[in-house]
Structure 1
Amino acid sequence: MAKRRNVSKIVVACAWVSCTFKSQSMEELSEHMSLHLKEHLGEGDAMEELEDYPCLWRGCEFLAMGSQSELIAHAHFHIFHSKLKYIGTQLLESHPELPSCTQDLHSNSLVPDVSEGFVCQWQHCDSSFNNPEWFYHHVDMHAHCTELQPLPDRQQALFCSWSDCDAFFKIKYRLREHLRSHTQERLVACPTCGCMFSSNTKFFDHIQRQAEPEDSLTCGHCDKAFANERLLRDHVRQH
Structure 2
Amino acid sequence: MTSALPNDEDDNASDFIKFSYESVQKCINKNKKYPEVLFPCEYQHCTRSFSDIEVFMKHVNSHMSEVQLKDDEFICSWRLCQFTSGNMKEFIRHFHFHTFHAKIKTEGRKILLSHYQKPSVTPCSMDSSEVNILPDLSEEFQCQWNSCTELPFEEAQRYYWHVGSHAHEQQSSGSKSCNWNLCTTSVKTTSKLKDHLKFHSQERAVACPTCGNLFSNRVKFIDHCNRQLLPKDKSYECSYCSKTFAIERLLRDHVRSHINTKKCPLCPMTVTTNSNLRIHLRYRHSNVRCFPCNDCSYAAKSSHDLQSHIRSLHGSPQIRCHLPKCDYICEDKVTFNNHLRDYHRNEPKFYICHECDKKFERG
Which residue is equivalent to 1:226? 245
Q: Which protein is bigger by CA-based radius of gyration?
A: 2
Which residue is equivalent to 1:57? 78
2:170 is the alignment partner of 1:143: no
2:217 is the alignment partner of 1:199: yes
Deviates more, 1:223-232 or 1:186-195: 223-232
Q: Distance in 1 between matches of 2:168 and 2:209?
A: 31
TM-superposition CA deviations, 1:17-73 (whole Å, max 9, x none) = 1112211122112211221113436xxxxxx896210011111110022x2222221
Which residue is equivalent to 2:114? 94
Decide whether aligned partners of structure 1 residues 162 and 215 sit closer, same or farther in structure 2, where only a CA change above 3 A counts: closer
How do 1:46-125 residues align onto structure 2 when only pairs under 5 Å count? 51-65=72-86, 67-96=87-116, 97=119, 98-125=121-148
Offset at 1:216? 4.5
Q: Distance in 1 between matches of 2:71 and 2:153?
A: 23
Conserved? CA contact 1:119–1:126, under 8 Å: no
Pick from 3, 11, 17 the counterpart of residue 44 of structure 2. 17
Which residue is equivalent to 1:32? 59
Decide whether aligned partners of structure 1 residues 81 and 116 sit closer, same or farther in structure 2, where only a CA change above 3 A counts: same
Offset at 1:227? 0.8
Conserved? CA contact 2:37–2:110, under 8 Å: no
Matching residue's letter, 1:33? V
Q: Distance in 2 between matches of 1:58 and 1:215?
A: 34
| TM-score relative to the length of structure 2 | 0.57
Which residue is equivalent to 1:212? 230
Contiguous gaps of at least 5 residues in structure 1: 1-8, 42-47, 150-155
Contiguous gaps of at least 5 residues in structure 2: 1-35, 259-363
Q: Distance in 2 between matches of 1:88 and 1:28?
A: 20
Which residue is equivalent to 1:133? 157
Conserved? CA contact 1:123–1:163, under 8 Å: yes
2:257 is the alignment partner of 1:238: yes
Decide whether aligned partners of structure 1 residues 68 and 10 sit closer, same or farther in structure 2, where only a CA change above 3 A counts: farther
Q: Percent identity?
A: 40
TM-superposition CA deviations, 1:148-170 (whole Å, max 9, x none) = 48xxxxxx311101111111101
Q: Distance in 1 between matches of 2:111 and 2:61?
A: 29
| TM-score relative to the length of structure 1 | 0.84
